[in-house]
Structure 1
Amino acid sequence: MTSTTLPRSELAGLSAIEVGAGRPVLLLHGVGLQAEAWGAQIEMLSGGYHVIAPDMPGHGQSAGLSGQATLDDFVQAYIPVLKSLSEPALVVGHSMGAMIAFELAHRAAENVVGVVALNAIFKRSPEAAAAVQARANALDGITVPSPTPTLARWFDTSESPERRACDSWLRAVDPAAYKQAYTAFANGDGPKREALATLACPALFATGALEPNSTPAMSQAMAELAPFGRALIIEGAAHMMPMTHAPAVNDALLGLAQEVWP
């Protein structure tokens, strides 16, 4: 499914894949990707849930945001989507999408029954913060950056359908929108401790054991701070684990869905 472009509909100002029926599950992808990055999750969850996978603003078929958008601007773009649903949703985010998912759970708690943050950052080290800022500053917003360094961080060196799909999405994204989103991501440092401590819904913080940036220690620290938090570290996985380790991710999502909707 990663190589297939799925039909979209317009939903509260964003282009979105909508499939299935039942309780709503909202899937939020990361910078440079598009909704098809959730292909394995869409296929699994749509058998029993209403799955909504929007394209991030400026990605896929969604229009971009104006100006020098912040993470808050991206969060605000998704709130109408959340409020348009018939009932509170399970919100799942990956990478920057995980940052947005947590903010939705914090700011629009009445519309969220549970949250899953996959490969989420939390309190970057000074070295990691400097590195991501340098990558953001190197983007000119005019030319498409080579995806090679990004793919090297996300995958090992071997070729795979998942790597090729990400390569094609990174080459297709609008350079200005990519710079806008990546800068917002680079300027973020994950959820605030007080926000984690007051999170009222079940929360899963999951990452890969081989993830060098959204590290296992980060997921474990967030889970310890959240009253109903738990951590999952997937062995052998790195940044793109929703694609590369879909069975383990799918089992975790289904488990939380069955918990919030017994």
Structure 2
Amino acid sequence: MDFTPILIWMFCVGIGAILVSFLLKQIESGDVNVDLTKKEGFANQRPSYSFTSCPAGSTTYVTSKGDTECCSTSDIVNKQCTSRIICSLSPSPPNGVDTCSGWFTKEWAKRSTKFCPSAMPNYFGPLSSSDSSGKRYEGCSSNLITSDGSAPQNLGGNQCKIYASSEDEYGRRDSCLNLKAIETVKCPTPTSEKSILESDKGLPALLACSFVPPNNSSPVPVVCYEAERAKLYMKTKLGGSWEAKLKEKGLALNSMLSLCGTSKNYYIDGSVAAKDVRF
């Protein structure tokens, strides 16, 4: 398979990243706002959860001592939960059992840390992670979340989605995974513009940086890609032998200016000579 067009595409699509980065800043719709680092006013506020009934998907039961508790399954035998006790609705729960409000606050904080980018720090979704319903609604928001944790209080802020499939998680520009990942991308310069570039269906999006090299070393802004995501793209596109295919063409991934590390070494640090890179 001749994969040269793929490498050309990775370079050419970078030019589009400059336009994408500009256009993203003009979008005011509620899906994904352009500024990948700006936090809304609600972002630093802590969500508050309140329950008068057990969380959806759990089973309410009353213990022999009269406490109202929530079981992770419907397996209640002799007034005891035979699986996992999620939380208690009683004002003074027994030792080792949290109140439902307390449990929910901790659980949603864990999910927020795991899934959410800093600009959209508040997780929302169903209690059960095994809920594979087509109506599953899960993501992160810059707005505060409803008291049951299932949705943003309003749809006016920034949101991202947690997709059910790995293909969409890595491939969609509005996925929380991609928006969280691009926050950690180290661009060649502090003023670089970051963007998420979707590709063909089934391929992971590329995480891109566009920057203007100092000393006019390039007549146009340079676009590069985060290395690990570029490798994943190549592996998905070309298969497990993609590195061997590069070697057949006399290419090495770390010599390509399309990767941000090499781009920084060439344009910013000057530690790599032109003869050692592939344009």
Does TM-score exceed 0.5, indicating one fold? no
- The alignment's TM-score, normalised by the length of structure 2, stands at 0.22
Q: Considering Cα pairs closer than 8 Å and 6+ residues apart, tell me whether 1 or 2 has the greater RCO.
A: 1
Structure possessing the higher radius of gyration over alpha carbons: 2
TM-score, normalised to structure 1, is 0.23
